């Protein structure tokens, strides 16, 4: 008979969705915001949120077991991680990204995973990103939540990339401009053009205006695989783009980037990537599965694959580095000088 630990590990995987739903419910019900004001009893929380006392106790027990909420006697409090990332007035908050995009959009899509692997895509609500973002309400929910989720990685990328002497940035598939905003803040000489679908670009203009950057960040509405890219760029950024198109489209993106860049220009590809031996890490591997459900035939990316595609397009000296530990990598390469 095999050790019980094997069964517990498999059960932990199988029941993992219960943990994520507990997290999402806590966000939807404002549990973490309420506890940010100080430790509270079950009765105080129930009265504050208008929830059923017994049901709330069951949810809180789940959140305590996940180390998202702490319990000291009769009082509940946020853990340090919850205070940092799940309280809405925290500068590191990304709860809207979790409760809106991941829970309301990505989670339901995953029910189609087995049929997508079989090559059956007729039941998927949207054929691709363009069709999905063509729905104004879906584009709003996705884009508003993604903006908050992207600001942190964008700040890290802007710090990591040397933009000395580079003024013109083309942010392809740049959504509402989170990466361009952080690039512009970090590098005062940078002026960016963000290329994304019309409904997304329209929302992005308001985010950029709120940051006071409308004179330095412009939007070009369109599909990156169809619209003409402006030339003479000093840098081209593609963040989360290669995982959102069919794998066969990646070479075309590289060719377009090469044509858009001035000699000596820099290509930056940031995305979910597994290790070259495809053994993990788990989060990067699972993100590839999630993307595949609403982008059939999307590729599971590696640094080696992106580097090879860059080289085929004419780029020199691809370099691979981790960005979000366990999830994303960034690959950079340059267009040879004339």
Q: Would you say the CATH fold of 97-334 matches that of 4-93?
A: no
13-62 pLDDT tens trace = 999 999 999 999 999 999 999 999 999 999 999 998 889 999 999 999 99
CATH class for domain 4-93? mainly alpha
Rounded distance, CA 281 to CA 301, Å? Answer: 12
Architecture of the domain delimited by 97-334: 3-Layer(aba) Sandwich (3.40)
CA distances 135 to 142, 198, 221, 234, 244, Å, are: 11, 10, 15, 33, 17
Q: What average pLDDT does range 112-134 have in this prediction?
A: 82
Residue located via tokens 């939540």? 145
- 113 neighbors 293 (Cβ within 8 angstroms): yes
Q: How far apart are CA 290 and CA 332, in angstroms?
A: 25
The domain limits of the chain are 4-93, 97-334
| 3 has pLDDT over 70 | no
Reported as type and span, the H/E element at residue 104 is: none
Q: What is the dihedral of CA 146, 152, 153, 155, to 10 degrees?
A: 120
Checking if the pLDDT of 169 tops 80, the result is yes
Cis amide leading into 17 (omega within 30): no
Distance (Å, whole) CA 281 – CA 277:
10
User: Given the DSSP bridges, would you call strands 328-334 and 233-239 parallel, antiparallel or unpaired?
Assistant: unpaired
% residues pLDDT > 70 (the chain): 99
| End-to-end alpha carbon distance in the chain | 68
Which letter, b or e, does each residue of 264-273 get, where b requires 16 or more Cβ atoms within 10 Å of its Cβ?
ebbbbbbbbb
**What are 177-229's pLDDT values in tens digits?**
999 999 999 999 999 999 999 999 999 999 999 999 999 999 999 999 999 99
User: Is the pLDDT at 289 greater than 90, yes or no?
Assistant: no
The SS3 of residue 312 is helix
Three-class SS of 13-56: HHCHHHHHHHHHHHHHCCHHHHHCCCCEEHHHHHHHHCCCHHHH
d(CA 59, CA 168): 50
Q: Are strands 191-196 and 217-221 parallel, antiparallel or unpaired?
A: parallel
Regarding predicted confidence, which is higher, 116 or 259?
259
Q: Do 236 and 258 form a contact (C-beta atoms < 8 A)?
A: no
Q: What pLDDT does 34 receive? A: 95
Write the DSSP string, 230-286.
Answer: PS-EEEEEEES-GGGSBGGGHHHHHHHHHHHEEEEEEEEEEEE-B-TTS---HHHHH
Choose among 260, 126, 141: nearest CA to 200: 141
- How far apart CA 287 and CA 143 sit, in angstroms, is 18
Closest Cα to residue 196, out of 186, 207, 187?
Answer: 207
β-strands 328-334, 191-196 pairing? unpaired
């Amino acid at each position: 008979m095999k050790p019980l630990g094997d069964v517990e590990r498999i059960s932990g995987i199988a029941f993992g969705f219960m943990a994520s739903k507990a997290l999402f419910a806590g966000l939807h019900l404002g549990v973490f915001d309420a506890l940010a004001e100080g430790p509270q009893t079950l009765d105080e929380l129930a009265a504050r949120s208008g929830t059923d006392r017994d049901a709330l106790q069951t949810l809180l027990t789940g959140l305590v077991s996940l180390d998202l909420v702490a319990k000291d006697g009769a009082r509940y409090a946020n853990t340090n991680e919850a205070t940092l990332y799940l309280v809405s007035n925290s500068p590191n908050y990304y709860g809207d990204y979790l409760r809106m995009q991941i829970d309301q959009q990505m989670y339901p899509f995953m029910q189609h995973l087995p049929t997508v692997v079989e090559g059956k895509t007729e039941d998927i609500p949207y054929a691709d990103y363009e069709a999905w973002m063509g729905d104004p309400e879906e584009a709003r929910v996705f884009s508003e939540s993604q903006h908050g989720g992207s600001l942190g990685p964008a700040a890290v990328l802007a710090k990591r990339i040397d933009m000395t002497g580079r003024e013109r940035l083309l942010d392809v598939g740049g959504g509402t401009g989170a990466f361009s905003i952080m690039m512009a803040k970090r590098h005062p000489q940078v002026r960016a053009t963000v290329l994304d679908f019309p409904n997304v670009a329209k929302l992005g203009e308001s985010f950029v205006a709120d940051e006071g950057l409308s004179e330095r960040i412009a939007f070009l509405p369109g599909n990156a695989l169809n619209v003409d890219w402006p030339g003479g760029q000093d840098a081209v950024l593609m963040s989360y783009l290669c995982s959102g198109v069919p794998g066969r489209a990646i070479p075309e993106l590289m060719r377009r980037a090469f044509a858009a860049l001035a000699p000596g220009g820099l290509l930056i590809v940031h995305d979910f990537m597994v290790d070259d031996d495809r053994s993990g890490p788990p989060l990067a591997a699972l993100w590839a599965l999630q993307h595949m459900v609403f982008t059939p035939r999307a590729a599971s990316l590696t640094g080696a694959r992106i580097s090879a595609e860059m080289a085929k397009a004419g780029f020199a000296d691809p370099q691979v580095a981790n960005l979000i530990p366990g999830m994303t990598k960034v690959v950079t390469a340059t267009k040879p000088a004339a």
